Amino acid sequence: MDAITVSREDERILISIPASINNKYIGQFLDYLKVKAIAAQSQATDEEIVELANEINQSWWKDNKQHFIK
């Protein structure tokens, strides 16, 4: 398997990923990086983030619990 390489050019970090890696995983990795970039710019407190996460989890559970409980 080809190696994953990382290099820097000016203000950018370049990541080279073998084409054999599933696009789904590359997409998930890119989504993760986008979230980290947004979070780094956030001025929200830890408490606000926890509260938002709890609201999201409650909403998700309300919409999806029928798939888990029969």
- The predicted-structure confidence for 59-69, as pLDDT tens digits, reads as follows 999 999 999 98
41-60 average pLDDT score: 94
Beta bridge partners of 7: 14
38-48 average pLDDT score: 91
**CA–CA–CA angle 46, 52, 58 (5° rounding):** 135
pTM over 0.85: no
Q: Which amino acid is at 5?
A: T
Query: Is the per-residue pLDDT at 51 higher than 80?
Result: yes
